Amino acid sequence: MTDEFTTQIYYEDDVDESYLEDTTVAVLGYGSQGHAHALNMKESGVDVLVGLREDSSSREAAEAEGLEVGTPAEVAAKAQLISVLVPDTIQAAVYDEIEPHLEDGDTLQFAHGLNIHYNQIQPPAHVDVTMVAPKSPGHLVRRNYENGEGTPGLLAVYQDTTGEATQRALAYAKAIGCARAGVLETTFQEEVETDLFGEQVVLCGGVTSLVKQGYETLVDAGYSPEAAYFECMNELKLIVDLMYEGGLMEMWNSVSDTAEYGGLTRGDRVVDEHARENMEEILEEIQNGDFAREWILENQAGRPGYTQIRQAEQDHEIEEVGERLRSLFSWSEEATEDDAAEVPADD
């Protein structure tokens, strides 16, 4: 192995801010990412507009921050860089509204490449198409910026018509604070496929399934739901925090020798080669577009399957036990209120 990264990483010193001078940026959406991008750029001296539907519940919040708000079509007509930060499921419809207002040399900017990679949005040849994707929820992008810190991000160029797409995207990344921490160069394909894989196999799908099955195993064996909750759900944050701070060895060095030996000798029996085969199947579904087609059809049908499985998740016993236990601890209520206050609704 080499000590050098295989990916280009950019920092603030690599950025020429002049590429956003005399540029009006339209941020479409004012949810978790949208509010962070808009406010951070505004405080970085960028001319920012916010595009929201006329009945959006976020209009008042954006205007209260001194941001000029219009419909997506109205702000796109005034901007040279349009950042599409509405949810993936409505991006194609919003794009149809703004497409007539894309002029030669404009930049169409994304924070996730799903609609471009899977051809739900097919931009014209006369615009640049780029992506700056902070690797963090939007409220942390905002909090880090306010604290003088940065949030790592990804940068990709799908279409470089002007020859300046990378420089303009880097200027955008600096304006929202990502270049303070580091911006990794990638492609739309790599960002989309690895992001979906990580969500489905580890971060959202794999972890939640492991937690529920561990909980069920203990409860079915006669242990109390409360003890099962603490062992399989509550303590997970402590372990993840250690891995986040210093990698796997930081975690192993911090737990007891008993926990380390048990984990090292038993972990691969749980997540074994069969699980690896399932991971490879899921990756193939992402790569060949099966998952994207399934999700698009699910939305077109009104989300019947999604609604059913989400309700089943909500009705799982671990949710009731966890809600009851968390209410006993003063820190949980305070943390929940703080997080709820910081994260705007998607728009």
Q: Which of 78, 25, 34, 37 is nearest to 52 (CA)?
A: 34
CA distance 108 to 101: 11
Question: Taking the mean position of all CA atoms in its chain, how far away is CA 142?
Answer: 14
CA distance 98 to 76: 6
Task: Tell me if 67 sits within 8 A of 41, measured CB to CB.
Answer: no
CA distance 325 to 332: 10
Q: Which of 41, 162, 42, 46 is nearest to 105 (CA)?
A: 162
- How many residues belong to the chain? 347
Q: Helix, strand or coil for residue 164?
A: coil
- How many helices (H) and strands (E) the chain has is answered by 18, 9
Which residues are catalytically annotated? 112
Task: Tell me if 347 sits within 8 A of 52, measured CB to CB.
Answer: yes
| Token output for 118 | 């899977």
CA distance 128 to 46: 19
CA distance 318 to 26: 42
One-letter amino acid of 201 = V
Q: Which of 59, 103, 97 is nearest to 79 (CA)?
A: 103
